[in-house]
Amino acid sequence: MGDASAAELYQIIQQLAADRSRFETILRQLPLAVIVADAPDGRVVLQNEHAERILRHTFSDDWHVDSYRSYQGYRNGGSPLEPDEWPLSRALKLGEVVEAEEIDVIRGDGSHVTIRVNSAPLREAGGAITGAVVVFDDVTAGRRNEAALAFLTRASELLSASLDYETTLANVVDLIVPGLADWCVVDIVDDVGAIRRLAMKHRDPSFEPLLVELEEQYPHEPGAATPPMSVIRSGEPTFHPTVAAEGVERAARGERHRELLRLLDIRSYICVPLIARSRSLGAISFVYSSSGRVFEPDDLALARELAGRVAVAIDNSRLFASESAVAAENARLYRESQSAEARYRGLIDYAGDTILVSDDEGRFLDVNPAASELLGYSRAELLTMGIADLTALGSAWTAGEFDKFMAQGYWTGELDLRRKDGAIVPVEAKATVVSLGADAVYLSVIRDISHRRETELMQREFMTIVTHDLKSPLTSIKGFAQLMQRRRMYSDAAVNAIVGQSQHLERLINDLLDAARLEAGRSELRREQVDLTALARTVAGYSQALTRGHVIRVELPAGELRGHWDGDRVSQVIQNLLSNAISYSPAGGDIVVTVGESSASGGRREAFVAIQDSGIGIPPSALERIFERFYRHDSEHSGSRGLGLGLYISRSLVEAHGGRITVSSEPGSGSTFRFTLPVEG
Ligand code: ADP
């Protein structure tokens, strides 16, 4: 190369622009939400659709970190986050690395989402912060189930605590407000068919007199077509996620009534009937007002579940009040135990989590349907088993932990369980003692966390890549370009380095893009008639041109070896394997490519390609893992290393063709990779 060629520089710039757009394509396809911001002003330079979907927010061009002011977020404990306390701000401004933090966010449309967030600063070679990246995932469903279960358990305890249902209802509305509503009222139909308001609560006690005034001055008319009367009559709930103020005010019976309704500000509304033994006893109304929150279908399900229990409690206490002879008392006790049993069954069957009830030796007394689903054993099978039969760590560990549980009265932690089919499921378990008079049973709630583990792993892997592997070639490209800029002089060495690093970056990005496509199932094979002999010869020739220290020899069949394959993809696999053979044979030497045909099981024919090198080899401990996504074996030889995706992609492509890929290796004397492709007919 001689002097500065504008065309060459232009090409390099174009290449960089193309890399960036491909990088964006990857971000968009990732099944995780990602936002990247620039330092120091925190302007958002990249965000993917997943992020917009989770936050229900479209990022405008001038969105920056301080725009967090427009969000409300709460920590696990419930305290609000200041704009500077959001993970992206902390990574950007303080260089903090934030891992797996959970935040409750109120989104653009008022609904809630719980996100698990990782965030890290992006740094230049010199260490200065140039930006920050945040990766997050929606974990609302799990948290909601947990909260719903805890809520129902607490409610059931309260409901069975007293036979005086007026006291009980007051406790229940205490439980509902402010977590599940800004204000809430319970209306009951009395003996003569009139409506009585038995309990109410507003999150701001200064509004309670307004609720009293509303009830006293504007009582519900029995024939009214509006809730709660319509709900009590029909026995069907009403669910209005967003309520128009005009609609509410239209129902007003005068100026003061309108004013009261305006002050009470009904923005989102649920009213559920209280039904026991097929009779409507009343209704509970849940209202979100000034908090701006919005009810979701899950809230309706929870409200119905709660109403079912409240209704049974009211019914029981009415029966109790109306019966006094011994026989009637027995009947009541029987009914009560029946309904307690029904409540208990409903609770454990409804739970999405696995619930195991065991005795003091860990043998199962009761299990719910979710347990069979998780573990693969039927209910009947599980009832003959105990916790020691399920833990993957063996009975010694189990016995030790079980003793700890007995001593403390509770146990929480993560452990691995073995399913009936032998597969291991990682779970999170919480166990407590439930005392029943003199006896006690042991209740364990278990949740499958394999998805969470996978997501966490993926988040970590992705963070490493963005913050390190992709960053370092970019840093040297930028460095060399700036060097030329400063000296106002073209330099062959700098341009060579830029071209080399761009090619390396291109390979990394292509690998990421391929892996993302394969994962999204979006990579289709374009099958055509392909001659494997000719294809292997071409690819080997191409690879030979890239190396001086190695001799690539081919051992090919005499004639054509045809099949119905995707030629480009098969070339890609051979090229990957050859480039590994070259990279991992630093001392040079022979690389042999063999192509042939053999018979597979069932008399079918298959073609095979084997690539044998005499390089550093792979230790047995790494052999099992080298085809995994992002797996790289750490050897001294890690010169221009990839992302650990090459073999993962190769395996996916071979398997998409219906073939297999295997490896055999001897550390110190070389490796042989072999893959097969089916031949029809
Ligand atoms: P990378 O892009 O890092 O090369 P690959 O998925 O292609 O990722 O390979 C994964 C790991 O397998 C490499 O990090 C290397 O340790 C090992 N490996 C692959 N091919 C060979 C080989 N021919 N000889 C020795 N080790 C190899």
Model confidence over 523-564: pLDDT tens digits?
788 999 999 999 999 999 999 998 899 999 999 999 999 999
Residue 212 Cα to ligand 1 midpoint, Å, equals 74
What is the CA 660 to chain-centroid distance, rounded? 31
Does the beta carbon of 647 lie inside 6 Å of ligand 1? yes
Instruction: Identify any residues that bridge with 177 across adjacent strands, giving them in sequence order.
Output: none
**Residue 331 pLDDT > 60:** yes
Instruction: Give the rounded percent of residues in the chain with a pLDDT score beyond 70.
Output: 87
Nearest Cα residue to atom 12 of ligand 1: 626
Q: Is 633 in the pocket of ligand 1 (CB under 6 A)?
A: yes
Ligand 1 center from residue 612 Cα (angstroms): 13
Rounded to two decimals, the pTM is 0.49
In total, the chain counts a number of residues equal to 681
Q: How many CB atoms lie within 10 A of CB 237?
A: 17
CA gap 522, 544 in Å, rounded: 32
Using CA positions, which residue lies closest to atom 23 of ligand 1?
581
State whether the beta carbon of 512 lies less than 6 angstroms from ligand 1: no
191-243: pLDDT as tens digits: 777 788 889 999 999 999 999 998 888 888 777 788 898 999 899 999 999 99
For the Cβ of 646 lying below 6 angstroms from any atom of ligand 1, the answer is: yes
Report how far ligand 1's centroid is from the alpha carbon of 462 (Å): 19
Q: Is ligand 1 within 6 A of the CB of residue 661? A: no
Report whether the peptide linkage leading into residue 222 is cis, meaning its omega lies within 30 degrees of zero. Answer: no
How many whole angstroms separate alpha carbon 262 and alpha carbon 526? 64
Inform me whether the pLDDT recorded for 485 exceeds 70: yes
In this structure, the residue with its CA closest to atom 15 of ligand 1 is 633
Residue to mutate, 647, 669, 673, ligand 1, most ligand atoms under 8 Å from C-beta = 647
Closest residue CA from atom 25 of ligand 1: 617
How does strand 238-240 pair with strand 112-123? unpaired
pLDDT of 74 strictly over 90? no
Which amino acid type is present at position 177?
Answer: V
Rounded to the nearest angstrom, the distance between the alpha carbon of 644 and the centre of ligand 1 is 7
pLDDT tens figures, 602-641? 778 899 999 999 999 999 988 988 998 878 776 555 555 6
136 forms bridges with which residues in the sheet? 33, 117
**Could you tell me the sign of the dihedral formed by the alpha carbons of 178, 179, 183, 189, in that order?**
negative
Point out the ligand 1 atom lying closest to the alpha carbon of residue 632. 14
Q: Which residues of 289-324 are buried (b: 16+ CB within 10 A; e: fewer)?
A: beeebbbbeebbebbbbbbbbbbbbbbbbebbeeee
Q: Which of 358, 365, 376, 363 is nearest to 418 (CA)?
A: 376
Q: Is the CB of 203 under 6 A from ligand 1?
A: no
Strands 439-448 and 562-565: unpaired
Q: Check pocket membership of 632 for ligand 1, CB cut-off 6 A.
A: yes
Report pLDDT for 489: 87
pLDDT tens-digit series, residues 239-265: 999 998 888 888 788 899 999 999 999
Torsion over CA: 649, 653, 654, 658 (sign): positive
Residue type, 410: Y
Per-residue tokens: 343 = 């409540």
